[in-house]
Amino acid sequence: MAKKPNILFFGIDSLRSDHMSLYGYERLTTPHIDKYIKEGGVFFENMFSPSIPTTPGYASMLTGLDCFGTDCVALRHEGGLLESIRTLPEILRESGYTSTNIGFAGNSAGRGFDKYIKYGDWEPEKAENMNQVAIPELERLAGQDKPWLLFMRHMDPHSPYYAKKPFDRIFYADDEFDKNNKSLKPVYSFKPFRDYFLTWFPEGCTDSEYIDAQYDGAVAYMDACINQILEKLRHLGLEDDTIVVFTSDHGETLNEHDCYYDHHSTYDNVLSVPLAFRYEKFPYVGSIADFCQVKDIVPTLLSLCEIESDIDFDGRHLTKFFSGQEIRQESEFYFTEATWMRKHGWRTPEWKLIVALEPDFHFKPPVELYNLIADPEENNNIADQEPQVVEFLKKRMEDHIKKREKETGRPNPMYTNLNWSGHGGPFKSSQEAYDTLHIGDPQTAKKLQAKLEEMGVEE
């Protein structure tokens, strides 16, 4: 029997698709990934990770299940994944695979790998730190007889953004310390996160466009380092026998929606992520416009590996697309967030409904509605002007919740994860949430804050 294909899985953290040149972004942030996929791969134009943030995103990515199937919606997920669930490495092991996970030890969503490797994922030069352990591991796996899964969690698009020279300035040529620039003033004024920002923003930085450019520079730096891994794969003679996957657990908010350099909220800049495959046996090369979700990845990989499973996946097999066949559409979906806010909603190609399950620390309205055709950046909340649309979408969402609760035999995890914040039960007001939630080092930040006050940024 022929050996099964290997799987080289780039499970990148916080990578939004609209900041990849592969997806048409004006800045050339991913030239190596672009070339690699466009020469012999496929990518999906409308890919979403609907359960924010990391833990539920990766849980769905590695199980083929939605949040009802994983029972996981919170970053601070209490306990492990359900014992009844089998993760991708556990399923592959039954077919003779070995598996290695780099950068995701200790998180319940990454259960089941044979080997876990740590690297400097929170330090500067994140992608080079990854290469220092990933390339030797790839060489080791190449020397074994069994097929393998190598999963890598790159952290470069995750704050803090460490864009190594010259990547720190390839998308920025202005003065980030201009005293007349006040664009970071609201960011520095946001008490829950300000101490964190002050520990990694350049001391005295005033320009939000500079911080935005650091995100793009970090992605470009990561792209260059990823090319080293792809070159090693080719040099080892494994390219024809390996499925290469690029995706992310969620996107990222830059200086948008008042959410500031993180990945909470459920706007499309956080929900929209890349999905790209390359495998030499693909009969089809190009882009695919269908809507898909991270839950589709596992069933698709198993189909490509010709592995039968008795699991009733929530995701779809996308392999029919690779031969130009049609597949069942799933253009509207339920989404959730339980990281810094607890919200859920319903998205169609035209409409986005966001409903708060408790007050949030940004003092946003409890119901938001956006027309994605007229307002794709979701800047104009029209919930009050379109009450009938709100009720229609709420009904669609509530019917879906009831259906999935009945199918899984469990209540919606968004209703049961009341300690999602780590501070007890639901917040009673936005002010309570604002005063309670916090990240960063106040002592270090206090010293850095003094320079901003001298420059007048704190006025």
Do 150 and 185 lie in one domain? The reply is yes
Weakest mean pLDDT among 114-118, 259-263, 281-285, 364-368: 281-285
Is residue 324 domain-shared with residue 411, that is, in the same domain? no
240: in domain: yes
Contact 275, 37 (CB under 8 A): no
Q: Is the predicted pLDDT of residue 448 greater than 70, yes or no? A: no
Domain assignment present for residue 168? The answer is: yes
DSSP 18: G
For residue 373, what pLDDT is reported? 98
pTM for the predicted model, two decimal places: 0.95
User: What pLDDT does residue 126 have?
Assistant: 97
**According to the model, what pLDDT value does residue 458 have?**
45
- 241 and 105 belong to one structural domain: yes
What's the pLDDT band for 413 if we cut at 50, 70, 90?
very high
Residue 365 and residue 323 share a domain: no
Query: How many domains is the chain built from?
Result: 2
The dihedrals phi and psi of 115, each to the nearest 5 degrees, come to -140, 140
Residue with tokens 């007048």: 456
CA distance 242 to 437: 44
Residue of 347 and 444 predicted with greater confidence: 347
How far apart CA 102 and CA 133 sit, in angstroms, is 8
Mean pLDDT of 423-436: 95
Mean pLDDT of 268-297: 93
- Out of 330, 349, 371, a domain closes at 330
DSSP-derived pairing of the beta strands 98-102 and 148-152: parallel
Q: State mean pLDDT over 97-115.
A: 95
Mean pLDDT of the chain: 94
CA 190/CA 261 separation, integer angstroms:
12
Other Cβ atoms less than 10 A from the Cβ of 183: the count is 15
Q: Are residues 318 and 346 in the same domain?
A: no
The Cα-based distances of 42 to 99, 164, 169, 269 in angstroms read 24, 30, 31, 22
Distance separating alpha carbons of residues 32 and 230, to the nearest angstrom:
9
Alpha helix stretches (DSSP H) within 146-305:
185-188, 191-198, 208-235, 268-271, 297-304
> Do residues 252 and 162 share a domain?
yes
pLDDT score of 346 more than 90:
yes
Question: How far is the C-alpha of 266 from the C-alpha of 52, rounded, in Å?
Answer: 7
Q: Does some domain include residue 58?
A: yes
Same domain, 266 and 370: no
Q: Are the CB atoms for 133 and 117 separated by under 8 Å?
A: yes
pLDDT in tens, 61-101: 999 999 999 999 999 998 899 999 999 999 999 999 999 99
Residue 132 within any structural domain of the chain = yes
- Co-location of 385 and 292 in the same domain: no
- Same domain for 13 and 115, yes or no, is yes
Sequence length of the chain is: 459
Based on its alpha-carbon atoms, the radius of gyration of the chain, rounded to whole angstroms, reads 22
**Within a domain: residue 459?**
no
Give 383-401 pLDDT, tens digit per residue.
999 999 999 999 999 999 9
Nearest to 233 by CA among 217, 245, 219, 220: 245
Select from 315, 323, 321, 345 the least CA-distant residue to 333: 345
Same domain, yes or no: 314 and 363: no
Q: Is residue 176 part of a domain?
A: yes
- pLDDT tens for residues 127-159? 999 999 999 999 999 999 999 999 999 999 999
Examine the pLDDT at 329 and tell me if it is beyond 70. yes
Are 267 and 257 in contact by the 8 Å Cβ rule? The answer is yes
Give the range of the structural domain holding residue 308, as residue numbers without chain letter: 6-330
Same domain assignment for residues 314 and 410: no
Q: Please say which residue of 289, 314, 330 terminates a domain.
A: 330
Q: Would residue 354 count as lying in a domain?
A: yes
Residue 345 is inside which H or E element, if any? strand 342-347
Collapsing DSSP to helix, strand or coil, 141 comes out as: helix
Domain shared by 284 and 373, yes or no = no
**Beta partners for residue 117, in sequence order:** 102
User: Residue 71 sits in a domain of what CATH number?
Assistant: 3.40.720.10
According to the model, what pLDDT value does residue 455 have? 46
Mind listing the pLDDT tens digit for each residue in 193-230? Answer: 999 999 999 999 999 999 999 999 999 999 999 999 99
What pLDDT score does 355 carry? 98
pLDDT on residue 263: 94
The torsion region of residue 286 among left (phi > 0), alpha (psi -120 to 50) and beta comes to left
Domain boundary among 291, 307, 330: 330
Is residue 1 one of the residues assigned to a domain? Answer: no
